[in-house]
Amino acid sequence: MNGATATLNVTRYSPGQDQMPRSQSYSVPYQKDWVVLDALNYIKDHIDGTLSYRWSCRMGVCGSCGMMVNGVPKLTCAAFLRDYYPQEIRIEPLVNFPIIRDLVIDMSDFLDKLKSVKPWIIRKTEKQISEGEYLQTPEELNAYQQFTQCINCMLCYAACPVYGMEPEFLGPAAIALGYRYNMDSRDQGKESRQAVLGSHDGVWQCTFVGECTEVCPKEVDPAAAIQRSKVEITKDWFKSVLLPWGQR
Amino acid sequence: MNGPRPDKSMLYYPKMPVTWWLRKRSYFFFMMRELSSVFIAIFLVVLLVQIYQLREGPESYAAFVQGLGSPGWLIFHAIALLFAIYHSITWFISTSVVLPLRLGKREIPRNLVTGLNIGAWIGVSLVILGLFLTLKG
């Protein structure tokens, strides 16, 4: 080790003890190949075992380690110290969520919203097992594949100012998930999702800020999913008023 | 169903500051995009009033147009023009996201869709400008 150190200013909050979150400064060894998560793990292992935060795969696929790094929602396993060094790095819990403790936020609202869009294949007519699988061409897969890449990291909810101002808003990941199933050729459940997606707190709260897409680590492009959902929902509404029942 | 939920009484609920849109470039430009609608709306009201003045007769119309030449209105219209241009450019960028275009199987790149829209916009504007200058002369 060459003795170089990086400084992290980390939010601390002890429920029942602190009235408000506060900032605590830590000095960690600076390694060129370290990410912020490595620095947090060093703090936990060698400096302050009371620091609480979520992490798991450390390779950008589980979505557990999302935090604010210098005010930007990031996966801490993908934020390299060298991109900030020698400046001090501010680590805060994801904004727009209630804080449980230190860097751990309450994600129960997010989980409820994911469930509310019925993220599973809904069929009106089931095939017998003996008839085989529901087949899908590469083009049909292409229509929704991008939106399957979501790792539920909630960076998009931290980036969305609408979610910050209107906590009832369904949010980017949940809408993208609903759109993913609506666009899946095997699914027949668009009407079942309509009440939630097409509600005031569904797609229509979105004002296309676009920050959700900017911060998404898996290039899901939730902003595109939301705007295209608006088009689909509008088309369906016109069909429902203009076409006779049998044609819809 | 999703496991135990945290005790809500112990949670800290951060407040979103009123100045949230000043904290990041992209938020600021988003608010400017939204603000552009206000300037465009005011411009349209002024235009409607101008058209209405035609009904009121030539003197009334001439007086109104002269009023529009005041420094205040000129500054307003200059600012409104800049906002309208920004509004249009961001509109064409948004269009490429909302409506993906396909040529056969391949999707047309978004930058190309935006570029074609802006090109058509400039083209139509030049045609209108040409017509205006021709008819004026």
Chain A contact for B5, CB < 8 A?
A: yes
State pLDDT tens for residues B44-93.
999 999 999 999 899 999 999 999 999 999 999 999 999 999 999 999 99
Contacts of A224 in chain B (CB under 8 A): 97-98, 100
Residue B4 has pLDDT above 80, yes or no: no
Residue B3 pLDDT = 67
CB-nearest partner of A164 from B16, B26, B34: B16
Chain A, residues 59-118, CB within 8 A of chain B, namely: 71, 95-96, 98-100, 106, 108, 111-112
What average pLDDT does chain A have? Answer: 96
Residue B86: Cβ-neighbour burial (10 angstroms; 0-12, 13-18, 19+): middle
In single-letter form, the type of residue at position A101 comes to R
CB atoms A227 and B27 under 8 Å = no
Residue B5 pLDDT = 78
Residue B2 pLDDT = 59
Distance (Å) from the C-alpha of residue B112 to the closest C-alpha of chain A?
17
State pLDDT tens for residues A123-182.
999 999 999 999 999 999 999 999 999 999 999 999 999 999 999 999 999 999 999 999
**Taking a C-beta distance cutoff of 8 angstroms, is the pair A228, A161 a contact?**
no
Residue A32 has pLDDT above 70, yes or no: yes
Which of B7, B9, B10 to probe by mutation at the A interface, max A CB count within 10 Å? B10
Rounded to two decimals, the ipTM of the complex is 0.90
What average pLDDT does chain B have? Answer: 93
Contacts of A21 in chain B (CB under 8 A): 12, 14
| A58 secondary structure, DSSP code | S
| B99 secondary structure, DSSP code | S
Residue A247 has pLDDT above 70, yes or no: no
Residue B11 pLDDT = 94
**Taking a C-beta distance cutoff of 8 angstroms, is the pair A83, A39 a contact?**
no
Residue A208 has pLDDT above 80, yes or no: yes
Chain B, nearest residue to A225 by Cα: B98
Residue B72 pLDDT = 96
Residue B7 has pLDDT above 90, yes or no: no
**Taking a C-beta distance cutoff of 8 angstroms, is the pair B20, A161 a contact?**
yes
Residue A80: Cβ-neighbour burial (10 angstroms; 0-12, 13-18, 19+): middle
**Taking a C-beta distance cutoff of 8 angstroms, is the pair A222, A213 a contact?**
yes
Chain A, nearest residue to B21 by Cα: A161
CB atoms A108 and B2 under 8 Å = yes
Chain B contact for A203, CB < 8 A?
A: no
CB atoms A224 and B13 under 8 Å = no
Residues ≥6 apart with Cβ < 8 Å to A186: A121, A123, A134, A136
CB atoms A108 and B10 under 8 Å = no
Closest by Cα among A172, A13, A8 to A104: A13
Distance (Å) from the C-alpha of residue B14 to the closest C-alpha of chain A?
7
Residue A248 pLDDT = 57
- Give percent of chain B above pLDDT 70: 97
Long-range CB contacts for residues B97-104, cutoff 8 Å, separation at least 24: B97/A210, B97/A221, B97/A223, B97/A224, B97/A227, B98/A224, B98/A227, B98/A228, B98/A230, B98/A231, B99/A231, B100/A224, B100/A228
Distance (Å) from the C-alpha of residue B111 to the closest C-alpha of chain A?
15
